[in-house]
A and B are shown apart, each in its own frame.
Chain A
Amino acid sequence: MLDAFSRAVVSADAKGAPIGTEDLAALRKYVDDANKRIDATLAITQNVSCIAADAVAGMVCENSGMTQPGGNCYPTRRMAACLRDGEIILRYVSYALLAGDASVLDDRCLNGLKETYLALGVPLANAIRAVEIMKIATVAIMTETNTGRKMFEGINSGSGSQCKEIASEAASYFDRVISALS
C-alpha cells in the first residue's frame, strides 16, 4: 500500500535520485490541502449508508425486475450483499482519498473483483451503474451541490465550492472502480 508520499519515494528510488524541490511541490500541496482532504473523507464516512442505499435503490428502480423472483437482488439476502459491497467500495475509496493514491483501492479491493462478480453471477452492468450513482452522490456532497444537509458550512475547509478539486480526485477513484468492472 502506498500513499502520496511513499509513491513519490518509490518513483524517485527507481531513478536512484533523492527527492528534490520539484517533486516536493506536489507533496507540499497535499499537506496544505490536508484539511480539505480530511473533510472530503469525512463526507464519505459520515454518509456511507445513505450513499450506498441510494445507489442500490437507484439501480433497482432502473431495473425493477431485480427484486422480483429470479432477479439478482431477490431475496433480501442478495440485496443485503449488494448494499454491503457498496459500503466496501466506499470504504476503499475513502482510504484512497485519504492516502492521495489509488494503490490501496487497486490492491485490496479491485484486484480480482470483476472475476469474483463474474463467478458469483453478479450482473456487471448493474454493479457499474450503482458505482456511478455513488460517484455522483459523493461528488455532490463534497461540492455541496446536493439537496438537503450541506456538510461544509462552518467547517475549516471552507465552502463546498472550494472542494471541487478534491471532489474530482474522489471521482477519479470511482472511475477506477468502474473501469475495473468494465
Chain B
Amino acid sequence: MKSAVTTVLSVADAAGRFPSMSDIEAVKGSLDRAAARMEAAEKLAAGIDKVTVDAVDAVYGKGSYEQANKDKCARDIHHYLRLINYCLVTGGTGPLDEWGIAGMREVIRVQVLPTAAYIEAFTHIRDRVCVPRDMSQQAATEFKGLLDYLINALA
C-alpha cells in the first residue's frame, strides 16, 4: 500500500539499488509532518462518532426522514472518516484510494445515491474544524487536505 516509506522503497527496488541519500531524505521529509498527522488521527479517532452524528444532522436538517436512511448515511460517513484516519497515519492517500475511491462512482451510481449529500457532509466537517479547540493548526491543515481530496473525488 502507498505510504510514507513504501513509495520510496518501490522505486529503489525497481532500480535494484540500496536506499540512496535522496530516498532517505524523502522518508525523512514525510516523517517531519508525521507528528501533526498523528495528532489529527488521534483526535479524529477519539471524536469520530460525534463528528459523524454532527455531519448527518447537518445534512438532514430539521426535515423528517426515515431513520434507516439516516443510519446508512452515518455508516458511510463513518467509513470515509475511518479511511481518512488511516491516510493520516500512513502519510499518503493509499487507504482512501484503494478502499474508498476505487469503484466508488460505480457503487454510488448503481445505488442511486446523492453524492451532493456526501459532499455537503464532508464540507460541513471541514468547515467545522476549529483551531485550537479540536486540534493544532498543522494537524487541522493535514485533516482538511484529506477531506478536500475526498470531496474532489466525490464531486
A and B associate in one complex: yes
- Cβ B1 vs Cβ A21 within 8 A: no
Question: Which size bracket describes the interface of A in this complex?
Answer: 35 or more
Of A3-11, A73-81, A118-126, A173-181, which stretch is located at the interface? A3-11
Query: Which residues in A have their C-beta under 8 angstroms from that of B41?
Result: 18-19, 24
Question: Does chain B have a CB within 8 A of A42?
Answer: yes
CA–CA, A5 and B91, complex, Å: 8
CA–CA, A21 and B28, complex, Å: 23
Q: Are A24 and B42 CB-contacts (below 8 A) given A6-B6, A98-B19?
A: yes
Q: Are A31 and B18 CB-contacts (below 8 A) given A2-B1, A99-B9?
A: no
Least CB distance from A175 to B in Å reads: 21
Q: Specify which of B6, B34, B86, B99 is in contact with A19 (CB 8 Å cutoff).
A: B86
Of B44-52, B109-117, B131-139, which stretch is located at the interface? B44-52
Residue of B nearest to A35 (CB): B28
- Cβ B3 vs Cβ A5 within 8 A: yes
Question: Does chain B have a CB within 8 A of A34?
Answer: yes
CA–CA, A181 and B86, complex, Å: 35
Q: Are A45 and B18 CB-contacts (below 8 A) given A5-B4, A20-B42, A38-B27?
A: yes
Q: Are A13 and B3 CB-contacts (below 8 A) given A19-B45, A20-B45, A104-B13?
A: no
- Count how many pairs of residues, one from A and one from B, have CB atoms less than 8 Å apart in the complex: 106
Question: Which size bracket describes the interface of B in this complex?
Answer: 35 or more
Residue of A nearest to B39 (CB): A24
Query: Which residues in B have their C-beta under 8 angstroms from that of A99?
Result: 5-6, 9
Q: Mark B106-131, 1 if CB is under 8 A from A, else 0.
A: 00000000000000000000000000
Least CB distance from A27 to B in Å reads: 7
Main secondary structure, interface of B, reads helix
- Cβ B28 vs Cβ A34 within 8 A: yes
- Cβ B6 vs Cβ A24 within 8 A: no
Query: Which residues in B have their C-beta under 8 angstroms from that of A10?
Result: 1
Query: Which residues in B have their C-beta under 8 angstroms from that of A5?
Result: 3-5, 89-91
CA–CA, A21 and B12, complex, Å: 32
Least CB distance from B7 to A in Å reads: 9
Q: Mark A32-45, 1 if CB is under 8 A from B, else 0.
A: 00100010011011
CA–CA, A89 and B95, complex, Å: 29
- Cβ A38 vs Cβ B90 within 8 A: no
Query: Which residues in B have their C-beta under 8 angstroms from that of A27?
Result: 34, 38, 89
Least CB distance from B52 to A in Å reads: 11
CA–CA, A19 and B81, complex, Å: 11
* Max count, chain A CB within 10 A of own CB: residue among B3, B13, B17, B35: B3
- Cβ A28 vs Cβ B99 within 8 A: no
Least CB distance from B3 to A in Å reads: 4
CA–CA, A95 and B18, complex, Å: 8
Interface of B with A (CB < 8 Å)?
1, 3-6, 9-10, 12-13, 16-19, 24, 27-28, 31, 34-35, 38, 41-42, 44-46, 48, 81-82, 85-86, 89-91, 94-95, 99
